[in-house]
């Protein structure tokens, strides 16, 4: 039996090689990883592309390791890397990316907003990535929750105070805490503090970290948390608790709620995140395309990026994957119902009169994780462990100050510009 | 009374393994809506293979399955080829430091693969093993080997030395005696070692993901992304991933049951 098995294995060996298209360009992406979305990416986007491409989806942590290994081993397999702004940033420090200035000039007619192009420079003098697609965070509510909306409240111009009243009313009626946040280990809760809560209440993120506004904000948020489903500490993606009916009102990244909207477009409504005293803070999410140094197919890689940033391709991306164009392109009217809900909520967020866009942290390099942790730790101490607000903020502010001075990162929107490292006031 | 207890035990053990598989199958066959309903019906109203078919139609699943089978078989082969002689040596010959050797073997499992990822990948690139099933199976062998060595050594210890000596008396060489007398007696245990090596390789994600780009093993290809997919797809994926292991264990079940026989003797 063993001999037969060995023969079988040996017979299979030469088989495996021709199955993969060895000459194809490898496109390594940390986005569109879920099997269904990766499949759509392969079928709808990459099959018609002028460059034959093998699409490899990988978790973000693996990308720097892989590039470093290929650099040290002097064998390159990856030609294009697609990742979030924050995931590409560490690759610049290790000098793993090729500058794309010529390509950027070539694409200047596509209508990519200058602010996004500037983000693609990652604080260097060169274009390090080409903006690929964008998304943001929205709120989704089960229609069963709508009758409890406070009188006179407009869903599309909700305030945090109204959200509090609303979830309290739902709790009183159902006896359950039906508001949900993605505060699980893989959840994106830190972005809620950095991009939504802080900007809405204090008008800043770093400068105003320990301001009196921030103190009031945390006290109010701790009150709101009393009507939040306690399972939130384990939610990574809000679509599942929403579909299961464990949560009626949820906040998350649009791509992490899209499945709920798509499966039951008639059961849910989507709307912008609430506003606070200083406006409606929201964080746009940006993914970019980069080419590693020593890419085996430089020409194919530029051609692929060119193809992916064509308006027609970008519209198709929005229809299939729920990420939205960075170039000048208008979405068609006949979108599928779930996607239409998401697009509507994003458009309303961007167009709202009190919108206060807050960028992802810029210039923190490898300290990005430590920065997020400051906000998550403050949340855990103040909200979950009931520690005094003032003392906690003061202590966390010390750590934050240390990160800012070590990295020397200047302030980014919504904080007022600074000369030198962004100060914690 | 005793019989009742026995029956309850059998039922409980069956439920222990069958209930999770049943729920997995229910989720895989029931489609999108059933996954989120609770309590679940015993029988899905509309069982369909659509989810599983869609899942299998995903580009690269077929190729990745082939790579996975290849890697798992190679791992099994290497683990047996290297593990059995080492186990035999530990069982039959006493040499200074054999106790330490047993401990050192276990130490290979003490280093987390994640820390070794970068140097390993660089080394594999230089050796030309990067992105090949052979390379991944070598690492999987390293993971499976401690088990193979230690289990096979206690296996060989359980085979009476007298039988081997009798074979020598009747004119067998040492190698022949080991092959014709000891090996057949230890076969059930060897089957268990083979299964274990196969399953380790089949389930391993990290090495499969880091050491490959184009030639992913099925688990690496799917598992890293499966956890972020909609629930019904996760169920379909889980169902498809356990099927080969169940089939493999079913195929060698005779040898496994015989092993329990040995231990009862």
Each residue of A95-153: pLDDT tens digit? 899 999 999 999 988 888 887 888 888 878 899 999 999 888 999 999 999 999 998 88
pLDDT at position A387 over 80: yes
Under 8 Å between Cβ of A161 and A153: no
Average pLDDT, integer, range A382-401: 93
Using a CB–CB cutoff of 8 Å, tell me whether B178 touches chain A.
no
Tell me which CATH code domain A137-283+357-407 carries.
3.40.190.10
Q: In this predicted model, what pLDDT tens digit does every residue of B145-172 receive, in sequence order?
A: 998 998 899 888 888 888 889 999 998 8
Coil, strand or helix: which one is A90? helix
The ipTM value here is 0.73
The pLDDT assigned to B204 comes to: 85
pLDDT at position A287 over 70: yes
Angstrom distance (rounded) from CA B74 to CA A389: 59
Long-range contacts of A395-404 (CB under 8 A, 24+ apart): A396/A209, A396/A210, A397/A209, A397/A210, A397/A424, A399/A370, A399/A374, A400/A206, A400/A209, A400/A371, A400/A374, A400/A424, A403/A364, A403/A367, A403/A370, A403/A371, A403/A374, A404/A206
Under 8 Å between Cβ of A72 and A44: no
Q: In this predicted model, what pLDDT tens digit does every residue of B24-42 receive, in sequence order?
A: 888 888 776 666 666 666 7
Q: In this predicted model, what pLDDT tens digit does every residue of B110-128 receive, in sequence order?
A: 777 777 888 888 999 888 8
CATH of A2-136+284-340, one of 3.30.360.10, 3.40.190.10, 3.40.50.261, 3.30.565.10: 3.40.190.10
Which of A5, A39, A56 lies closest to B73 in CB terms?
A5
Average pLDDT, integer, range A159-163: 94
Q: Give A-chain residues touching B210 at CB under 8 angstroms.
A: 62, 65-66, 69
Residue of chain B minimizing CA distance to A2: B77
Domain B60-264 architecture: Orthogonal Bundle (1.10)
The pLDDT assigned to A339 comes to: 86
The pLDDT assigned to A17 comes to: 42
pLDDT at position A16 over 60: no
Residue of chain B minimizing CA distance to A60: B224
pLDDT at position A4 over 60: no
Average pLDDT, integer, range A65-76: 88
pLDDT at position B261 over 50: no
Q: What percent of chain A has pLDDT over 70?
A: 94
Q: In this predicted model, what pLDDT tens digit does every residue of B203-216 receive, in sequence order?
A: 888 888 888 888 88
Task: Return the residue in B36, B126, B193, B219 with the most chain A beta carbons within 10 A, the one to mutate for interface testing.
Answer: B36
A230 burial level (CB within 10 Å; 0-12, 13-18, 19+): exposed
Which of A36, A54, A58 lies closest to B229 in CB terms?
A36
Please indicate whether, in this complex, the C-beta atoms of A12 and B122 are within 8 angstroms of each other.
no
pLDDT at position A404 over 60: yes
**What are the sequence ranges of the domains in chain A?**
2-136+284-340, 137-283+357-407
Mean pLDDT of chain B: 83
**What are the sequence ranges of the domains in chain B?**
1-48, 60-264
**A105-to-A81, A99, A110, A111, A126 alpha-carbon distances in Å:** 20, 12, 10, 12, 11
Confidence label for A20 from pLDDT (cuts 50, 70 and 90): very low
**DSSP assignment of A148-216:** GSPTT--GGG-BHHHHHHHHHHHHHHHSS--EE---STTS-HHHHIIIIIHHHHHS-SSTTTTSHHHHH
pLDDT at position B55 over 80: no
The pLDDT assigned to B6 comes to: 92
Q: In what order do the strands lie in the sheet with A137-142?
A: A179-180, A249-253, A137-142, A268-271
**A124-to-A25, A171, B89, B191 alpha-carbon distances in Å:** 27, 50, 61, 59
The pLDDT assigned to A369 comes to: 82
Average pLDDT, integer, range B51-79: 86
The residue with greater pLDDT, B222 or A226, is A226
Which of A36, A65, A74 lies closest to B233 in CB terms?
A36
Window from A103-117, A326-340, B197-211, B250-264 with minimum mean pLDDT: B250-264
Window from A320-329, A337-346, A400-409, B224-233 with minimum mean pLDDT: B224-233
């Amino acid at each position: 039996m063993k001999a037969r098995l060995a023969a079988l294995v040996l017979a299979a060996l030469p088989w495996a090689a021709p199955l993969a298209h060895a000459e194809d360009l490898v496109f390594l992406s940390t986005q569109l990883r879920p099997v269904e979305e990766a499949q759509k990416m392969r079928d709808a986007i990459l099959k018609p592309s002028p460059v034959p491409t093998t699409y490899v989806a990988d978790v973000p942590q693996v990308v720097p390791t892989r590039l470093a290994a290929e650099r040290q081993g002097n064998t390159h397999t990856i030609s294009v890397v697609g990742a979030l702004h924050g995931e590409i940033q560490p690759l610049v420090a290790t000098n793993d990316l090729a500058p794309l200035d010529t390509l950027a000039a070539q694409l200047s007619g596509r209508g990519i907003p200058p602010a996004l192009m500037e983000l693609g420079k990652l604080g260097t003098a060169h274009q390090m990535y080409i903006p690929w697609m964008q998304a943001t965070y929205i709120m989704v509510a089960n229609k069963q929750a709508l009758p409890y909306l406070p009188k006179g409240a407009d869903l599309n111009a909700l305030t945090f105070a109204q959200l509090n009243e609303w979830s309290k009313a739902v709790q009183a009626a159902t006896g359950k805490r039906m508001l949900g946040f993605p505060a699980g280990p893989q959840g994106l809760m830190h972005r809620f503090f950095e991009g939504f809560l802080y900007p809405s209440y204090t008008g800043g993120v770093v400068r105003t970290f320990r301001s009196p506004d921030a103190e009031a904000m945390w006290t109010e948020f701790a009150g709101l948390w009393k009507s939040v489903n306690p399972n939130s500490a384990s939610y990574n993606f809000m679509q599942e608790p929403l579909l299961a009916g464990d949560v009626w009102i949820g906040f998350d990244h649009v791509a992490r709620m899209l499945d709920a909207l798509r499966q039951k477009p008639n059961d849910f409504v989507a709307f912008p995140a609430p506003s606070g005293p200083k406006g409606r803070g929201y964080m746009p999410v940006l993914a970019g395309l980069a080419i590693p140094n020593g890419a085996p197919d430089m020409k194919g890689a530029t051609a692929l990026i060119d193809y992916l940033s064509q308006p027609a391709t970008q519209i198709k991306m929005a229809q299939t994957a729920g990420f939205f164009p960075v170039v000048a392109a208008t979405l068609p009217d006949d979108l599928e119902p779930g996607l239409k809900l998401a697009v509507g909520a994003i458009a309303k967020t961007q167009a709202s009169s009190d919108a206060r866009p807050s960028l992802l942290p810029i210039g923190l390099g490898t300290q990005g994780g430590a920065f997020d942790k400051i906000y998550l730790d403050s949340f855990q101490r103040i909200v979950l462990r009931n520690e005094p607000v003032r003392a906690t903020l003061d202590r966390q502010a010390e750590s934050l100050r240390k990160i800012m001075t070590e990295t020397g990162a200047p302030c980014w929107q919504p904080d007022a510009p600074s000369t030198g490292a962004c100060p914690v006031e | 009374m005793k019989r009742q207890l026995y029956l309850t035990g059998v039922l409980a053990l069956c439920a222990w393994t069958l209930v999770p598989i049943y729920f997995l199958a229910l989720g895989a066959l029931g489609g999108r809506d059933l996954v989120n309903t609770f309590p679940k019906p015993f029988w899905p109203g509309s069982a369909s293979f659509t989810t599983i078919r869609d899942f299998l139609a995903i580009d690269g699943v077929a190729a990745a399955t082939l790579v996975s089978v290849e890697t798992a078989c190679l791992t099994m082969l290497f683990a047996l080829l290297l593990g059995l002689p080492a186990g035999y040596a530990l069982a039959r010959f006493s040499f200074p430091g054999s106790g330490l050797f047993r401990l050192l073997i276990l130490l290979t499992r003490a280093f987390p693969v994640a820390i070794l990822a970068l140097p390993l990948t660089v080394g594999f690139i230089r050796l030309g093993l990067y992105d090949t099933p052979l390379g991944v199976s070598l690492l999987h062998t390293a993971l499976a080997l401690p088990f193979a060595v230690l289990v096979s050594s206690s296996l060989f210890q359980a085979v009476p030395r007298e039988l081997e000596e009798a074979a020598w008396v009747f004119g067998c060489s040492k190698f022949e005696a080991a092959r014709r007398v000891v090996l057949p007696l230890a076969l059930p245990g060897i089957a268990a070692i083979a299964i274990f090596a196969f399953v380790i390789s089949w389930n391993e994600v990290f090495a499969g993901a880091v050491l490959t780009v184009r030639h992913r093993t099925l688990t690496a290809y799917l598992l890293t992304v499966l956890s972020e997919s909609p629930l019904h797809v996760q169920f379909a994926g889980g169902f498809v991933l356990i099927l080969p292991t169940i089939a493999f264990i079913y195929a060698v079940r005779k040898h496994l049951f015989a092993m329990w026989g040995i231990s009862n003797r």
